[in-house]
Structure 1
Amino acid sequence: MKLKKLLINGLFGHFNHVIKFKDENITIVTAPNGYGKTICLKVIDSIFNRKLSFLCDLQFSSIELFTSNGTLEIIKNNDEERSRSITLGHSDESEIHEYSREFELSTRKSQSTHVIDMHVPFLHRVGPREWEDHRTNEVYTFEEVIENFAEYLPNEFTSKNYPQWFIDFSNSLNAHFVQDQRLIQRKADRTSRGRKQSYEDTIEKYAAELAELIRDSGFQSSHVSQQLDTTFPVRLLANDRNFRSKDASVLKDELQALQNKRAELSSFNLLSSEQHLPAMRMLDDIKDEDRKVLTLYVEDTYAKLKPYENLYKKIELFSRILNSKRLSFKKIKIEAEKGFHFETEEKRPLKLTQLSSGEQHQVVLLYELIFKTKENVLVLIDEPEISLHVAWQKEFLKDLEEIIEIQNMPVVIATHSPQIIDGKWELTVDLEGGLS
């Protein structure tokens, strides 16, 4: 699905906003504070993540979202008795659907919270109406569980009973919201008396996540290696008429390419540097009887390294951006145990929280854009300029364009920083003229 235009009428009783999405994969929404540019992002997020309770609580008269899959229309019911309900309609459907915040809340109160324990295996109860996600240590209230994990719960429990056309529409595009508050996240601490809610530094959480991604790639590579090594003698001795050994010159080129790829991976400690091939001069005289074994070796090695391919691209971009004079007198280092960490120019290790708040914002924002988004996911970024030095702000769009090259994702940004825009006014939509 491709977004074309968003109309929000009567926002806060004052604004009529029109956002035409750009074809260049980047749309920048600008406005003075208080005009609702962040709200525009949250409206899009609430539609595609089906958080319609947000729209029930929002003051507006109508919303129209024009897409390549038709137009979604949302009307706010503003009379007293139905003030917290909305009506959904679609250009290709005759059916309309009314969604009520009050009905949802009353239905939720009558449902047993034990349904969550039964249907969402990665959530563990840490309070009467609180659960911890053991994958991330984040704590969710009852309402947040419903909003974030509704797909795991029975329809009658969520009480939403959306029409199929709206489910299909919202499923046509995944949206990822990068919030303005990025440095602290909630978690659950285990104590001798049970668990209590606390907070953790996002930069430390993301370093641990990267370590896990590296380990997962290593496990996948080891699994492929075990399968291929086990069958290697059989494949080598098999008389397969469809198998074609590569020419000696091709083998030499591909072995050199493998050498280079291994060197790239080992530069980020994804592979041991000791795993490199022998000196290439030993391959100058490849005999015919050796071509089959070397052909199998090349094909197998590419398969063994493939689990690292996507991760390497992301790590290389992440490290290159941060090491290109972004962090004063510091360098980022990647390794399997720590994920990422930093050293001074004198090679002294630094705690992640010893970075300034601006540096942490830079690291966390880049990590989220590179590692936590996926290809073709709509990314909504709220005020990327927060705590960033002016020089970093001016580099943001350039960084984002590089990330889009490997992620191929549309992005909508809300900002009031001319440094973020960096002269690319053709990508902007100004909401200042939307005052009714």
Structure 2
Amino acid sequence: MKLVKVTVRSLFGVFDHEIPFNIESGITIVIGENGLGKTVILEAINALFDEKYSFFGSLEFERFDFYFSNNEIWKLTKESSQEGFSLFIGRDSLSKPVKKGRLYKIFQGYDANLHKMKIREMEIMRRLEMDRHYLNERSHNREDFDYDFALRHRRVLEREYRHRLLSEANESDAPQWFLDGIVKVKKIWGQMKNNP
């Protein structure tokens, strides 16, 4: 399963590119003016197959299509939100085109600065609540008991939120064909590097 061609739509919101690879010689030369995305496309290929998906977070594109020697096409798309982005992969075939293919989420990336702000905000709220609690600690009425319960409940929620952030960052429903394909491509690249 060799990568034979890569296309990208709307790279930087502007450029459409198609790069066919010279499979016979193993050498492909990409020529173009500065700023068109030559290096970025090569970095995107590397990021996909090295599973460094966070690379795509700041990259503006509509879709990457990866064409393989077995007539498979992988279609990589991204959805962005205020919190971050999600990467999706779909599969099609040149020999048996799929009418409506399924998209699988392979990565959920979060804006690290936004999450740091949210965690900092939670920490500030917790400290404010603790300060308020300590100011009122001498009175032991029912209201303070309810407040203590609420404070403990909030701490549990904070821990759960932090855990969810960490686990969702790695959330994926990547299909087996994709995971197997990544391994196959890496194996071929390794052989090519060892036998120039």
Q: Are 1:376 and 2:192 an aligned pair?
A: yes
Higher relative contact order (CA 8 A, sep 6+): 1
Residue identity opposite 1:166 in structure 2: F
Q: Deviations over 1:305-351 (max 9, x none)?
A: xxxxxxxxxxxxxxxxxxxxxxxxxxxxxxxxxxxxxxxxxxxxxxx
C-alpha displacement at 1:49, in angstroms? 0.6
Alpha-carbon distance, 1:376 to partner:
2.8
Q: 2:41, 2:187 → 1: CA distance?
A: 13
Tell me which stretches of 4 or more aligned residues in structure 1 moved more than 3 Å: 80-83, 92-95, 103-106
Residue 65 of structure 1: how far off its partner (Å): 0.5
CA contact (8 A) 1:8 1:18 kept: yes
> Which one of 74, 96, 101 corresponds to residue 103 of structure 2?
96
Change (3 A) 1:83 1:7: farther
Which position in structure 2 is the counterpart of 1:53? 54
Kindly indicate whether the alpha-carbon contact (under 8 Å) linking 1:5 and 1:65 is maintained by their aligned counterparts in 2: yes
What residue identity is the alignment partner of 1:65? F
| Structure 2 residues without counterparts, runs of 5 or longer | 120-166
The corresponding residue for 1:2 is 2
TM (norm. structure 2) is 0.58
- CA separation of 1:25/1:10 partners in 2, compared to 1, >3 Å: closer, same or farther? same
Q: Distance in 1 between matches of 2:90 and 2:53?
A: 14
Q: Distance in 2 between matches of 1:30 and 1:82?
A: 36
1:45 and 1:175 in contact (8 A); partners too: no
Letter in 2 for 1:34: G
C-alpha separation in 2, matches of 1:31 and 1:40: 12
**Deviations 1:401-427 (CA, angstroms, capped at 9, x unpaired):** xxxxxx335xxxxxxxxxxxxxxxxxx
Task: State the shift of 1:86 in Å.
Answer: 2.3
- Equivalent-residue separation in structure 2 for 1:82 and 1:61 (angstroms): 19
Q: Tell me, yes or no, if structure 1 residue 37 matches structure 2 residue 45.
A: no
Task: Please tell me whether Structure 1 or Structure 2 has the larger radius of gyration of its CA atoms.
Answer: 1
Residues 170-209 of structure 1 aligned to structure 2 (within 5 Å): 170-174=182-186
Aligned residue for 1:53, secondary structure, equals helix
Partner of 2:11: 11
TM-score w.r.t. the length of structure 1 is: 0.28
Per the alignment, residue 220 of structure 1 pairs with none
- The question of whether the paired residues in 2 share the 8 Å contact of 1:8 and 1:62 is answered with yes
User: What is the letter of the counterpart of residue 88 of structure 1?
Assistant: I
**8 Å Cα contact 1:15/1:35 also seen in 2:** yes
Q: Describe how 1:105-184 pairs up with structure 2 within 5 A.
A: 159-161=170-172, 162-174=174-186
Q: Which amino acid aligns with 1:100?
A: Q
Gaps of 5+ in 1: 111-155, 177-372, 378-406, 410-436
Alpha-carbon RMSD = 3.2
Number of residue pairs the alignment of both structures matches:
135
Are the structure 2 counterparts of residues 10 and 82 from structure 1 closer, same or farther at C-alpha, using a change threshold of 3 Å?
Answer: farther
CA distance in 2 between partners of 1:82 and 1:91 (Å): 30
Q: How does 1:24-423 map to 2 (within 5 A)?
A: 24-69=25-70, 70-78=72-80, 80-81=81-82, 84-91=85-92, 94-98=101-105, 99-102=107-110, 159-161=170-172, 162-174=174-186, 374-377=190-193, 407-409=194-196
Q: Aligned partners of 1:54, 1:10: CA distance in 2, in Å?
A: 17
Cα-to-partner distance string for 1:64-89 (whole Å, 9 max, x where unaligned): 000124111011225x4576222211
Distance (whole Å) between structure 1 residues aligned to residue 12 and residue 4 of structure 2: 23
Cα distance between partner residues in 1 of 2:79 and 2:6: 19
Letter of the structure 1 residue corresponding to residue 13 of structure 2: G
Contact 2:5 2:18 survives alignment (8 Å)? yes
Alpha-carbon displacement from aligned partner over 1:207-230 (angstroms, at most 9, x marks no partner): xxxxxxxxxxxxxxxxxxxxxxxx
Which whole-Å CA distance do the structure 2 matches of 1:157 and 1:101 have between them?
A: 8
Between 159-168 and 87-96, the greater mean CA deviation after superposition: 87-96
